[in-house]
Amino acid sequence: MPRPVLVLKFGTASITKPTGELHEPALVDIARQVAALRDRYDVVLVSSGAVGAGRGTIRDYRGEISQRKAAAAVGNLLLLNVYSRFFGVYGVTIAQSLCERHHFANRDQFLQLKDTYEELWANGIIPIVNENDVVSNRELKFSDNDELATLLAVGFGAEVLMLCTSVGGLLDPDGNLIRYVPRLTEAVFAVVRTDKSSMGLGGMASKLTFAKLATRMGIRVVIFGLAEPDSIRKALDGELGTQIEPQPITMSARSRWLGSGSLVVGRVRVDAGAAAALQRRSSLLAVGVSEVLGEFSAGEVFEIVDEADVAVAVARAKLSSFDLSALSSRQNVEVANANDIVLL
């Protein structure tokens, strides 16, 4: 019987010093705690820090995209060597996995990724994942590792997604830790500060955005810090950090993958009639689309929002946004088949 999957994400601020060098005591502690979790879970470790680790090797570093890519090329090697050394103390072998968005955009590619991870777990190996910053054709700020960790958690049907942060969890306006969140509502988002660490790309708003996606897919999310001894175990057991409850879900694996939002490249707004039809598991017809927001091609995934701009579904397009705009008055043109629509 397959074991539950645990996805752990560590951001740059959690594992590097303010100057960018790797904070080795933090990595030592991560290795110790994660090695102990292998008896309970198949673990995926998503780790930032490559750019921070490598930036000191780039002359006149100013944070330009080419410099970030070069820093990542150096830093990935430094980061994995350190992880390998510290996990090796516990007899644990690690593997590097550099992912790009297209690995999640194509079902066959994703299944190959899944098969590889399952083979690694079968051999007691922990995959350490990072975005492939060196060849990514998107600027890094558009795809942080909170998103990558969430896509992995959703795709693998993880039991728990843990997001490490330098502040230890979700804080209220007075700076007090919010220990338990039954559901991520607008009121919860309203308490989030918009600042972020100087080294990282994400922040609490990013974490909550992807936490909402994960919980909608039935995954428990824990936002925690490393300040206390055995913090990973304690956070996993609900003793510290912010615990965000999963929502009920009955989706198949394919629907979870489609519904993860990994491929969303545009949105369409639908009228009340179309929104109601979707809830009855009907296909989306062009006549129900009131506005096309963003561009997408046939076969890509777009988000469907209602008249109040609330996301109600994601769907795989049968035609491009250009064609949809031209055919919006045609009543019987199918934009997305019911089998390719996942209600949110």
- Is 22 strand, coil or helix? strand
Q: What is the pLDDT of residues 91-144, one digit of tens each?
A: 999 999 988 766 776 667 788 888 999 999 999 999 999 887 665 554 333 347
Could you tell me if 256 and 216 are in contact, meaning their C-beta atoms sit under 8 angstroms apart? no
Instruction: State the chain's mean pLDDT as an integer.
Output: 84
340 is in an annotated binding site: no
Strand ordering across the sheet containing 289-293? 289-293, 264-270, 301-305, 311-316, 341-343
CA distance 158 to 121: 14
Residue 85 — pLDDT band, cuts 50, 70, 90?
very high
The residue among 280 and 191 whose pLDDT is bigger is: 280
pLDDT of 161:
98
pLDDT at 36 over 80: yes
The residue among 67 and 30 whose pLDDT is bigger is: 30
Model's pTM, two decimal places?
0.77
List C-alpha distances in Å: 341 to 154, 251, 257, 278, 344. Answer: 17, 11, 12, 8, 10
Q: What is the pLDDT of residues 245-295, one digit of tens each?
A: 998 876 666 666 666 655 566 789 999 999 999 999 899 999 899 999 877
CA distance 53 to 9: 17
State the DSSP code for 271: -
146 is in an annotated binding site: no
Structure tokens at 332: 């019987």
The residue among 150 and 327 whose pLDDT is bigger is: 150
Most confident of 51-60, 109-118, 235-244: 235-244
The tokens 């690690």 sit on which residue? 94
141 is in an annotated binding site: no
pLDDT of 278:
92
Strand ordering across the sheet containing 220-224? 93-99, 125-131, 42-47, 5-10, 160-164, 220-224, 242-244, 180-181
Q: What is the pLDDT of residues 130-166, one digit of tens each?
A: 887 665 554 333 347 888 898 899 888 899 999 998 8
Alpha-carbon Rg of the chain, whole angstroms?
21
145 is in an annotated binding site: yes
Residue 212 — pLDDT band, cuts 50, 70, 90?
confident
pLDDT at 201 over 50: no
| CA nearest to 94, candidates 129, 50, 133 | 129
CA distance 268 to 289: 7
Residue 75 — pLDDT band, cuts 50, 70, 90?
confident
CA distance 342 to 101: 20
> For 69-83, what is the mean pLDDT?
90
Return the amino acid letter for 271: D
pLDDT of 202:
46
Could you tell me if 70 and 54 are in contact, meaning their C-beta atoms sit under 8 angstroms apart? yes
Return the amino acid letter for 274: A
Could you tell me if 180 and 149 are in contact, meaning their C-beta atoms sit under 8 angstroms apart? no
pLDDT of 331:
66
